[in-house]
């Protein structure tokens, strides 16, 4: 963090710490250090140890970790104004079951720290990988956490002007059922959201920089075909004639 704060393009007065697994544990420990410039912290499935094959969901020494998280919360609250924290975990974490995350976040909160928790549905075969593999799922949650703290949602692509097609009108899409089914997922997704297609393939993204990520997801499958273009962003169809 100190290294990043020394960079000219970093606002050293507004730092958000984030970490996953042992990194999440370290992130909460850092809130107890009350480091200058830290305004929030995000913990993805934070904890330590565990054997998903031998003892699925059972971390090492959970009672000791409860004491440690309580200590982090107590020190984060010293002098008042503890930084807000967000704890994100899943129902099927094979390293650390959600009951431990609930216990630890409660200990942190009861000791004086500020903690919001978000239990996510089961993700893949092991929810412990949500942070690495499920950006589109957790990004909107992180956005909602950070927006009240004054962090705008960035976007790398300018939004094209809208056309004349209603966003709910699936008849304007190509007849390929896979594209239509993908678009229905887009309509059910939370904003910010974007949908891209080339008529045969599609890409969907939500959260930060959704348009460019939707294009990237779609172009992963084109393999020499026509490149994908943005079809819809949020509630606006930006490409009326795919």
Domains of the chain: residue spans and CATH: 2-149 (3.40.50.1820), 170-237 (no CATH)
pLDDT for residue 21 is more than 60: yes
**Least confident range of 14-18, 130-134, 224-228:** 224-228
Predicted confidence at residue 171, as pLDDT, reads 84
Of all helices (H) and strands (E), which one includes residue 231? Answer: strand 229-233
160's CB contacts (< 8 A; 6+ apart) are 230, 233, 238, 239
User: How far is the C-alpha of 83 from the C-alpha of 208, rounded, in Å?
Assistant: 23
User: How far is the C-alpha of 239 from the C-alpha of 216, rounded, in Å?
Assistant: 17
Q: What is the pLDDT of residues 86-134, one digit of tens each?
A: 999 999 999 999 999 999 999 999 999 999 999 999 999 999 999 988 8
Q: Please state whether the predicted TM-score (pTM) of the whole model is above 0.85.
A: no
pLDDT for residue 201 is more than 70: yes
Q: What is the mean pLDDT of residues 51-56?
A: 89
User: How far is the C-alpha of 196 from the C-alpha of 109, rounded, in Å?
Assistant: 42
Predicted confidence at residue 160, as pLDDT, reads 63
């Amino acid at each position: 963090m100190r290294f990043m704060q020394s960079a000219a393009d970093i606002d050293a007065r507004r730092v958000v710490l984030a970490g996953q697994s042992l990194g999440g544990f370290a992130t909460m420990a850092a809130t107890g250090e009350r480091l200058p410039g830290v305004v929030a912290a995000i913990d993805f499935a934070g904890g330590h140890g565990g054997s998903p094959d031998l003892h699925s969901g059972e971390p090492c020494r959970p009672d000791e970790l409860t004491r440690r998280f309580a200590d982090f919360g107590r020190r984060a609250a010293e002098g008042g104004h503890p930084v807000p924290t967000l704890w994100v975990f899943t129902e099927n974490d094979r390293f650390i079951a959600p009951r431990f995350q609930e216990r630890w976040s409660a200990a942190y909160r009861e000791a004086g720290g500020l903690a919001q928790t978000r239990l996510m549905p089961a993700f893949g075969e092991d929810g412990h990988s949500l942070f690495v593999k499920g950006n589109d799922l957790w990004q909107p949650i992180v956005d909602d956490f950070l927006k009240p703290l004054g962090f705008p949602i960035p976007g790398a692509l300018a939004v094209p002007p809208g056309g004349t097609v209603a966003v709910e009108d699936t008849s304007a899409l190509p007849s390929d059922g896979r594209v239509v089914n993908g678009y229905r997922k887009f309509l059910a997704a939370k904003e910010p959201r974007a949908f891209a297609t080339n008529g045969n393939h599609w890409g969907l993204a939500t959260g930060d920089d959704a348009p460019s990520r939707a294009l990237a997801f779609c172009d992963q499958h084109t393999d020499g075909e026509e490149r994908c273009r943005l079809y819809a962003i949020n509630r606006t169809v930006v490409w009326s004639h795919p």
